[in-house]
Structure 1
């Protein structure tokens, strides 16, 4: 059974691994000219760590984990409020893993490149599902027919647009936008993160090694109207305007932003669809059920979703209609809990008013001295832990070999 996967990110490559494991023949098409290096920090939590171990890549992920030592929380003016451990500032349980997105993508590519066909520097132009197969016209490669097509091409997925319609019908904005880009590591940050918070805004800065660039992450209220998706100058103007009154390292971040060759900007949004499949086409990861970066669970949903989708196709012996229905039934409660987590985190992590920012700082200052500190931390971690483990993985058996 031949399956075309659009997108060579985490979701697409994880699915390629599991499809090949179960005896299918996957092809991955990716618009970029090759595997994308770099990127921001991402997490594998709870059951996603178990999936990585079942893939045999768990130790590779651990070897390339960020191993963050901790972080400092600051006011908008740059006044330190509290120092937190690496697990606390990253909201991680022991055993959870944090890794650069590009490093995880590289690990997945190494695990699949010998057995999986990759079409880089290309994309799907049109798809036509005639009930017996999906006829695909590529932008560059010759047309081909596949048994199934999977859109694993992100929040603004092209396959979803082709098969399900415009993004406006399924995207729910959370009121914030984010810009991420590399900056010189002026503070010589060594596996250390710094979070500078003001009403409605957060400026994050982290570095993994004193000798390499740091990464800036700037969260702020989405402008009205928002800048165009491909209008980089307008996006950078919006970021500069939003953080014009911030002190600390923010002016140097804004100065470096214009020269950054990895500048990324988007609104925080979730994807909500009544169905993730249509005929022989289905969606995976952010394209189907993006929880937003605020949840910290997008990568975990991608990895777990790939495991379940491939496993259900194997269990159904290639009966895609039955497999797609079971995939959604197994995964949707897990997805919905993590999307709720994403909405809650936006409200709690980014204080909307100065009063809420003051309350957040007060709690952070007092936390080391509170007699109920352990209980408070348990309350903070409980919803994250529950969301990360809200699915029981089936022991799928390779059925087509």
Structure 2
């Protein structure tokens, strides 16, 4: 692993020697719990899109803007909210961010109209980038340098667990008790995450950061831009396809709506396994791992489009897509830290913003394809094309670095 990553971890937090030798610091569990709640907030609506659109009297593509609006707000929060919190001790910063989470999800659960729901989504999203940006650097600082990617993958395991268990459960709750009940449950998870952060995350010093201008300056480096662009394309493609998966499964593949939560469980299993294995692979070689995954992912998304009328093959392709997509998360996160190790928190948060900017773009492109009457499979095709651009950017970045 690059020495820049280790330096990033060290500069973000200065825990004692004992915690760094632990295989699993209890603070990682608390960070994963927070990630679980945030993952629920972002992804659970994918299984409730039809219900939300019907209740709020908007079309499915318009309801999709609740997803892309959230993702765009993540970008704003990651760059600017995080910027103001860089010099705040990490534990306190995480608690401040969870206030946004609680307020936003409470507003979403109560929302009497589409506009109020969108406002709640935006408020909740402001915590997303900062939580994962600050949390990822803090997580890396709690373990030995050669376990940085694994520590980050443990934190992101909360995000993937939200897909394995939380999203299907939230979809089931929404189908049984109404989609608003799901957001009340998410709010309760936020309360538990706040307690976990207070109890388990160690109090460490704030990052010795320069000016906000110098922090943003680190993001203008060529390879940092390449890393962020890769993240935008790779994840934009995958989630552009995934966020319209519920109508695809019910209207094209032929599954009943009651089967959707269980199909999302299988997708989540792929995410969870991919995230953990991807962390181990990235600890060995970031570049080799990303080369393989950025090629395999768009191919798999295209296969999903081709077999979407065959139930068994659709399920397999869905699981593989989740596995490959989240196997790339630790490597993508560490790549940007490798080239911006002197501004780790801002670089980490910027890459989280890139995940969600890609998400927003992918969902909007998929929505345009639907609105143009290209059919329920069209978001999958646009996702495959968009994701393939990630491999193109990686090749460009590698050639530029060699020169």
TM exceeding 0.5: no
| Higher strand content, 1 or 2 | 1
| Larger proportion of helix | 2
Q: Give the TM-score normalised by structure 2.
A: 0.26
Report the TM-score when normalising by structure 1: 0.26
